[in-house]
Amino acid sequence: DAGVTQSPTHLIKTRGQQVTLRCSPKSGHDTVSWYQQALGQGPQFIFQYYEEEERQRGNFPDRFSGHQFPNYSSELNVNALLLGDSALYLCASSRISRDAFFGQGTRLTVV
């Protein structure tokens, strides 16, 4: 049984560009949450998707947007990248209101 898978594992983007990160949840899970983990810090909640809708959102600007597909996979989009967006982006999946399982993350570097 595959766990939570994220792609790509690493990528480098230039300031002002746009990026899309992808997440496939663990089998049987219907909820996907995204977190940003800056170097040396704890993860910060970006948003959560359930039934293809954004259910909760953290304190992130509108440049951060997401989507959930009918197969429960999810995308995180970030527009107009800033140097400060460089971080490890973690996806977590769960059944609604149950314990979350995290993927290994996507390391984004903005130059």
Partner 1 sequence: GDSVTQMEGPVTLSEEAFLTINCTYTATGYPSLFWYVQYPGEGLQLLLKATKADDKGSNKGFEATYRKETTSFHLEKGSVQVSDSAVYFCALSDHKAAGNKLTFGGGTRVLVKP
C-alpha 7/C-alpha 21 separation (Å) is: 6
Which of 43, 66, 72, 78: binder of partner 1 (CB under 8 A)?
43
- Which of 21, 23, 33, 110 contacts partner 1 by CB under 8 A? 33
Residue numbers 2-21 binding partner 1 by CB under 8 A: 4
Minimum Å gap between C-beta 45 and partner 1 is: 5
* CA nearest neighbour of 110 among 80, 90, 67: 80
Number of residues lying near partner 1 (CB under 8 A) = 27
* Assigned token pair, 50: 């359930």
* Binders of partner 1 in range 70-109 (CB under 8 A): 90, 92, 94-105
Q: Which two tokens stand for residue 11?
A: 């990528």
Residues binding partner 1 (CB under 8 A): 4, 31, 33, 35, 40-45, 48, 56, 58, 90, 92, 94-105
